[in-house]
Structure 1
Amino acid sequence: MFIIAGLGNPEKRYEGTRHNAGFEVIDRLADKYNIAVDAKKHRALIGKGVIEGQKVILAKPQTYMNLSGESIRSLIDYYRVDEEHELIVVYDDINLEPGQLRIREKGSAGGHNGIKNIIAHLGGQVFPRIRVGVGEKPKGYDLADYVLGHFSSGEKKMMEEGYDHAVRAAEMILSGRIGDAMTEYNRKKNRNNE
């Protein structure tokens, strides 16, 4: 069994914000595979289904971003998954262009408070993750205001493509092809060649 956790903030006012990129990817996986993510358990909205022949739990922690680890720790303990191989965390990254992905098998939080909290609760940083670029914070902007802000219409188009790529990357990881996913998506986009 795998847990795919997309990070974000609950409440309507945060829908479509940069910080909710993880929720967006979970929603797309849920739609594609007919998984209802509506059960409230382990301080998350969860749904059970099958993707690429693997039993999965799709999870959207409802603890707010900075406490994501509380929900994920509870899910891991209850479903007895091996976080090093059976947990996939999807979240926003301000160090990547909008829609660009970076897939890793492990790593530091890189300044992301949700990931810091997960690492603290898991006691380690070895777990697969899909980072979805939301664009760099402009100079002079407050970071919290920026990540809780909405995308421009031009950025939205790039994000839609990024979310679709993140779904494909998750499918590849579930089928044991994380290396292929990294090769496919960890390269810089060349806008001239698209």
Structure 2
Amino acid sequence: MIKLFVGLGNPGPEYEGTRHNAGFWWIDALARDLRLQLVPDRNYYGLVARTSVQGESVWLLEPQTFMNLSGKSVGALARFFKIQPEEILVVHDELDLPPGQVKLKRGGGHGGHNGLRDIHAQLGSSDYWRLRIGIGHPGDKQEVPNWVLRKPAPDQRKLIEDSIIHALQASPELLAGDMEKATLKIHTTKPQRPKPPRPEAL
């Protein structure tokens, strides 16, 4: 079962609505669904909530270390409670998926994502689960740093929020550790795309 749900993002009001904070948005929504309140915990360098599922403690975590040091927070909590990499789900923004799409997978590379890179280093493993929330790609690699730290356009934000709601429907399976069923639930949806602009009248 998943014992640690981690959402990646940057702390502070200036980053709140930016694409890089999509992981925070998902954890915030999960906390609301579970009626949990995330509170600061200096021991784990983040905002933390705890619940119990089938007699096991389950943690929600939003690192407050800034993205590039996310592993410091994840590693501290995972080590203290002896949570294995395969019992961790990291929710993060994904450039390689368009807004409206979300994918679940276990293991793999960090794909240049600095939050994942640091988690790899701190856990000494890449064998954790990832929930990849599509934010789209700006089309130019040089534009990526600015892209992830900007707020999406309203239509893109709506698509991202819809994908978060969709993925939350699999939270009972994620909490129960039925990853096969969770994957099926998350992946069996048509990708949503923004509506094309109306042609201008001649």
TM normalised by structure 1 equals 0.90
Identify the match of residue 84 of structure 2 among 82, 85, 100: 82
8 Å contact from structure 1 (residues 33, 51) kept in 2 = no
Distance 1:132 1:180 in 2: 18
Give the CA deviation at 1:188: 7.0
Distance 1:34 1:80 in 2: 25
Distance 2:141 2:4 in 1: 37
Gaps of 5+ in 1: none
8 Å contact from structure 1 (residues 94, 133) kept in 2 = yes
Corresponding residue for residue 197 of structure 2: none
C-alpha change, 1:107 and 1:162, in structure 2 (3 Å) is same
Corresponding residue for residue 37 of structure 1: 38
Question: What CA RMSD, in Å, does the superposition of the two structures yield over aligned residues?
Answer: 2.1
Q: Write the letter of the residue equivalent to 1:176.
A: G
8 Å contact from structure 2 (residues 90, 131) kept in 1 = yes
8 Å contact from structure 1 (residues 52, 174) kept in 2 = no
C-alpha change, 1:113 and 1:140, in structure 2 (3 Å) is closer
Distance 1:109 1:140 in 2: 16
Corresponding residue for residue 72 of structure 1: 74
Greater mean alpha carbon deviation, residues 174-183 or residues 2-11: 174-183
Give the CA deviation at 1:54: 5.2
Distance 1:129 1:60 in 2: 15
1:1-194 aligned at under 5 Å gives the runs 2-41=3-42, 42-50=44-52, 55-84=57-86, 86-139=87-140, 142-186=143-187, 189-191=190-192
Distance 2:138 2:116 in 1: 19
Distance 2:54 2:46 in 1: 23
Q: How many positions carry a matched residue from both structures?
A: 191
% identity of equivalent residues: 35
Bigger radius of gyration:
2
8 Å contact from structure 1 (residues 98, 134) kept in 2 = yes
Residue by residue over 1:111-156, the C-alpha shift from the partner in whole angstroms, topping out at 9 and shown as x without a partner, is 1111011011111110111111011123376211100011111112
TM normalised by structure 2 equals 0.86
8 Å contact from structure 1 (residues 33, 50) kept in 2 = no
Residue by residue over 1:81-108, the C-alpha shift from the partner in whole angstroms, topping out at 9 and shown as x without a partner, is 1222x21110000100113111112111
C-alpha change, 1:96 and 1:52, in structure 2 (3 Å) is farther
